[in-house]
């Protein structure tokens, strides 16, 4: 155990709030405040897990893959335990040295050349979709805009066929499955049952599209750069990690731009600013609210004693609004200095999002096309959220646009 000289080691304060209660999932900000104020590390009583909500500790846990490992799974369950087992992601839920090798092989596949090729295809798709949206004038910013775009652009790049209904049901299962076994978990697992076989087939070699990222991953397996069976697991991680997250993040950026006409005016005048709008969107309302690590051994964090083999939830949503780190944390401000690389919405450290260039490419393509061609955008109704254990996501975002 490492102890800090001038900080006596103490037990974690206890917080008796369920982060997975429906009302907290719908509006997590009071919980985030309570979590940050209770201490640098707290014990969440209803689930018997540690949690961090301040930026400094969240960053420390994510950056230290030796003390805080992912092979216990990035959800609240320890997937190494009987009864809680599920197939781990061979990238996100493995520790170095295995992680280092797999990550290097996948990074080679996602070369700048490959990313550039797909970014160009995103631009074409964005132009066509924005034609339709302008024609409509009023539309749902989720279903008709960000979701429609991501479901066209992303599966084509990865090389998988993802029909809307099946994809959304599998996504909902994945992000409820990483939470506790509550009503949301059971409902999502049951709803997904009929589609599990379809999904498994979708990520296999004979189903993926030629010239795609998935095909490159299978070729890496052929060359021995990835162990047998890993390519389809990574394709599954890409679909899981890259679909709902991007829909969610782009939805948040669009929502806030619609609420703040003066910020829309800035992106309309200079569409390059959509990059900052996307980063601020995912800082302000983080798609992945929480990810978990497991303590490799008994340790200490900011003067708090942590037992071995315990789950610790890193609440990125709370850290991304920690007033210790951010000025006016609740404000959406696309001119905020030093955004990318500072917020934790894409993680940090060894497991930092490997698809972030793709997510940024998609958001830049769609948001800059909208910014160029739409003079003003406003809410045409009240936005709603979908309660999901691990993820924050808009359900409906009624929008009205005025073309240039």
d(CA 184, CA 178): 11
Cα–Cα dist 290/74, whole Å: 9
Give dist(CA 285, CA 300) in Å, integer: 29
Contact call for residues 335 and 221 (beta carbons, < 8 A) = no
Q: Is 353 in the site for ligand HEM (CB under 6 A)?
A: yes
Site for ligand HEM contains 392 (CB under 6 A): no
Residue sitting closest to ligand HEM (CB): 355
User: Using CA atoms, how far apart are residues 113 and 88, in angstroms rounded to an integer?
Assistant: 29
Nearer to ligand HEM, 141 or 355 (CB): 355
Residue 347 near ligand HEM by CB under 6 A: yes
258, 249, 276, 179: which is closest to 393 by C-alpha?
A: 249
Assess 399 for contact with ligand HEM (CB under 6 A). no
Give me the DSSP letters along 57-113. Answer: HHHHHHH-TTTEESTT-SSSS-TTSTTS--PPPTTTT--TTHHHHHHHHHHHHT-HH
Smallest gap, in angstroms, from Cβ of residue 53 to ligand HEM? 15
| Nearest distance in Å: CB 213, ligand HEM | 7
Stretch binding ligand HEM (CB under 6 A), from 27-35, 78-86, 160-168, 345-353: 345-353
In the complex, least distance from residue 6 CB atom to ligand HEM, rounded to whole angstroms: 30
By CB under 6 A, tell whether 257 contacts ligand HEM. Answer: no
Q: Decide: is 361 part of the binding site for ligand HEM (CB under 6 A).
A: no
Cα 36 from Cα 323, distance rounded (Å): 9
Site for ligand HEM in 284-323 (CB under 6 A): 287-288, 291
**Residue 87: left if φ>0, alpha if ψ -120 to 50, beta else—which one?**
beta
Among 176, 237, 299, 389, binds ligand HEM (CB under 6 A): 237
Q: Whole-angstrom Cα distance, residue 234 to residue 230?
A: 6
Contact call for residue 92 and ligand HEM (CB under 6 A):
yes
Cβ–Cβ under 8 Å, residues 117 and 110: no
Total residues binding ligand HEM (CB under 6 A):
25
Q: Structure tokens of 294?
A: 């497991």
Sole binder of ligand HEM in the list 268, 351, 386, 392 (CB under 6 A) = 351
Q: How far is the CB of 286 from ligand HEM (least distance, A)?
A: 7
By the 8 A CB rule, do 74 and 86 touch?
Answer: no
Listed ranges 121-129, 222-230, 237-245, 304-312: which one lies at the site for ligand HEM (CB under 6 A): 237-245
| Residue 156: both structure tokens together | 């084509």
Q: What is the 3-state secondary structure (H, E, C) of 382-394?
A: CCEEEECCCEEEE
Binding of ligand HEM by 72 (CB under 6 A):
no
When binding is defined by CB under 6 A, the residue of 74, 109, 145, 169 that contacts ligand HEM is 74
Under the criterion CB under 6 A, does residue 103 sit at the interface with ligand HEM?
A: yes
Stretch that binds ligand HEM, among 167-175, 242-250, 257-265, 305-313 (CB under 6 A): 242-250
Task: State the minimum distance, in angstroms, from the CB of residue 10 to ligand HEM.
Answer: 27
Contacts with ligand HEM by CB under 6 A lie at 62, 74, 91-92, 103, 237-238, 241-242, 245-246, 249, 282, 287-288, 291, 345-347, 351, 353-355, 358-359
């Amino acid at each position: 155990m490492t102890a800090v000289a001038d900080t006596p080691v103490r037990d974690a304060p206890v917080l008796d709030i369920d982060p997975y209660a429906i009302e907290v999932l719908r509006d997590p900000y009071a919980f985030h405040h309570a979590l940050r104020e209770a201490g640098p590390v707290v014990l969440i009583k209803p689930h018997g897990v540690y949690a961090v909500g301040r930026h400094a500790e969240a960053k420390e846990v994510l950056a230290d893959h030796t003390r805080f490992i992912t092979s216990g799974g990035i959800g609240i369950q320890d997937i190494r335990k009987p009864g809680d087992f599920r197939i781990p992601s061979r990238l996100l839920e493995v520790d170095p040295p295995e992680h280092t090798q797999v990550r290097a092989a996948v990074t080679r596949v996602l070369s700048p050349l490959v990313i550039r090729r797909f970014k160009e295809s995103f631009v074409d798709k964005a132009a066509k979709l924005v034609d339709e949206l302008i024609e409509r004038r009023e539309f749902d910013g989720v279903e008709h805009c960000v979701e429609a775009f991501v479901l066209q652009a992303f599966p084509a790049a990865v090389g998988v066929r993802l029909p809307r209904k099946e994809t959304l049901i599998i996504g909902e299962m994945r992000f409820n499955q990483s939470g506790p076994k509550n009503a949301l978990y059971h409902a999502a697992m049951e709803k997904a049952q009929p589609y599990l076989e379809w999904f498994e087939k979708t990520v296999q070699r004979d189903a993926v599209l030629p010239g795609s990222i998935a095909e490159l991953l299978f070729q890496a397996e052929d060359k021995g750069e990835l162990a047998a069976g890993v390519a389809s697991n990574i394709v599954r991680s890409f679909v899981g990690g890259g679909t709902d997250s991007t829909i969610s993040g782009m939805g948040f950026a669009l929502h806030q731009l619609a609420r703040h006409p003066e910020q829309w005016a800035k992106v309309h005048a200079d569409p390059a600013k959509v990059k900052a709008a996307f980063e601020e969107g995912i800082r302000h309302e983080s798609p992945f609210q929480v990810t978990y690590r497991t303590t490799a051994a008994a340790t200490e964090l900011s003067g708090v004693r942590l037992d071995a083999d315990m789950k610790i939830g890193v609440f990125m949503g709370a850290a991304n609004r920690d007033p210790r780190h951010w000025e006016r944390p609740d404000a959406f401000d696309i001119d905020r200095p030093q955004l990318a690389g500072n917020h934790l919405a894409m993680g940090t450290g060894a497991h930092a999002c490997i698809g972030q260039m793709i997510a940024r490419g998609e958001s830049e393509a769609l948001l800059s096309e909208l910014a160029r061609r739409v003079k003003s955008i406003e809410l045409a109704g009240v936005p709603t959220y979908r309660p999901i254990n691990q993820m924050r996501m808009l359900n409906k975002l009624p929008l009205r646009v005025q073309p240039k």
